[in-house]
Amino acid sequence: MAFNDIELANIEKCMEFFLEKRRPAEHLRDELDLQYRIEDDSVVIFEVRQL
């Protein structure tokens, strides 16, 4: 079951806080960063690395 609008807003707020505390310094984000996506009833947190 997918998240409703209230749950999505809460998740997005929580994820902004989570990423703010854990993302690498701005000068490193071109090489390494953290992102998230919402898929159905899951929140997926993943690393983005440049080749």
**CA nearest 35: which of 3, 10, 49, 8?**
49
Tens of pLDDT along the chain (51 residues) come to 899 999 999 999 999 999 999 999 999 999 999 999 999 999 999 999 988
CA distance 20 to 40: 24
The upper half-sphere exposure of residue 35, i.e. CA atoms within 13 Å in the direction of its Cβ, equals: 8
Domain boundaries, the chain: 5-49
Strand partners of residue 48: 33
pTM of the shown model: 0.83
Q: Write out the two tokens for 44.
A: 């997926």
CA distance 16 to 46: 14
